[in-house]
């Protein structure tokens, strides 16, 4: 059953046609999907309060209803490790069109995967999973299944990837946490089914998978 908090976020986002990243990560968190610790800072003081509690380094992203593709607009900075850099980033973002705040979050790492969804006019909700990161269009290494996913769907999606040895542990590297990956994709599939009437597509990219956990680095929800 769709939680009221998720429904409220989707309803309030209809005007812009997509969900701002802090709201998208709140939807994922409410759905049991791991996201970095973050804050939505409307002022520099709010940003510094977060890093004093959580520590450096952090990543910062512009929050603006006019900027969906943050990286293309120069609205993403990673590895910020001191207050001067945090201030300079905030001041630069503050001059961007539609600025409403700066998302500040802990740095996360792992094998860069991606998960996506769209609502196909013929087949309904479908789930995409594969290699992610900024080179996702180059890899074109993905598997697709109709939602809702079952565990055997997740297993077959993983095994169909050309790069699946990387997940199993390649050349001495430790394997990713398969249980966490399965749990993430199953929770994502359940979320997609619950909100399919609202969405056109969802992209979770990168989805960082490590031996410890799978955690969503960036999320984009495009609404109908």
pLDDT band at 52 (very low <50, low <70, confident <90, very high): very high
pLDDT value at 49 more than 80: yes
**For residue 216, is it left (φ>0), alpha (ψ between -120 and 50) or beta?**
beta
At 2 the pLDDT is 84
Mean pLDDT of 30-57: 97
- Rounded Cα gap, residues 13 and 40, in angstroms: 16
At 124 the pLDDT is 94
At 217 the pLDDT is 97
The reported pTM is 0.94
At 114 the pLDDT is 96
pLDDT band at 188 (very low <50, low <70, confident <90, very high): very high
At 103 the pLDDT is 98
SS3 state of residue 70:
coil
List phi, psi (to 5°) of 87.
-65, -45
At 81 the pLDDT is 97
The position carrying tokens 């512009």 is 62
In degrees to the nearest 10, what's the CA dihedral of 220, 27, 19, 221?
30
pLDDT value at 79 more than 90: yes
Q: pLDDT per residue over 190-202, tens digit each?
A: 999 999 999 999 9
At 219 the pLDDT is 97
pLDDT value at 8 more than 90: yes
Contact present, 54 and 106 (Cβ < 8 Å): yes
Q: pLDDT per residue over 83-125, tens digit each?
A: 999 999 999 999 999 999 999 999 999 999 999 999 998 999 9
Q: pLDDT per residue over 144-169, tens digit each?
A: 999 999 999 999 999 999 999 999 98
pLDDT value at 208 more than 80: yes
pLDDT value at 137 more than 80: no
**In sequence order, which residues have a C-beta less than 8 Å from that of residue 177 and are 6 or more positions away?**
209, 210, 211, 212, 213, 214
At 173 the pLDDT is 87
Cis peptide before 148 (omega within 30 of 0): yes
Query: Closest Cα to residue 219, out of 99, 106, 114?
Result: 114
- Rounded Cα gap, residues 20 and 63, in angstroms: 7
The pLDDT > 90 percentage for the chain reads 92
At 138 the pLDDT is 76
């Amino acid at each position: 059953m769709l939680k009221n908090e998720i429904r409220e976020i989707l309803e309030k986002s209809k005007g812009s046609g997509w969900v701002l990243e802090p709201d998208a990560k709140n939807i994922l968190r409410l759905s049991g999907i791991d996201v970095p610790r973050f804050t939505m800072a409307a002022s520099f003081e709010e940003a510094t309060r977060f890093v004093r509690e959580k520590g450096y380094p952090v990543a910062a992203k512009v929050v603006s209803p006019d900027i969906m593709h943050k990286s293309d607009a120069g609205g993403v900075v990673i590895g910020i490790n001191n207050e001067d850099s945090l201030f300079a980033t905030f001041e630069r973002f503050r001059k961007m069109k539609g600025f409403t705040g700066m998302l500040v979050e802990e740095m996360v790492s792992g094998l860069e995967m991606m998960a996506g969804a769209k609502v196909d006019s013929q087949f309904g909700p479908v789930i995409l999973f594969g290699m992610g990161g900024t080179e996702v269009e180059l890899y074109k290494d993905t598997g697709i299944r109709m939602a809702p996913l079952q565990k055997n769907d997740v297993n077959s999606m993983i095994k169909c990837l050309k790069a699946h040895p990387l997940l199993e542990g390649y050349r001495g590297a430790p394997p990713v946490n398969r249980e966490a990956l399965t749990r993430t994709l199953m929770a994502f599939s359940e979320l997609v089914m619950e909100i399919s009437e609202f969405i056109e597509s969802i992209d979770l990219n990168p989805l960082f998978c490590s031996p410890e956990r799978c955690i969503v680095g960036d999320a984009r929800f495009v609404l109908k």
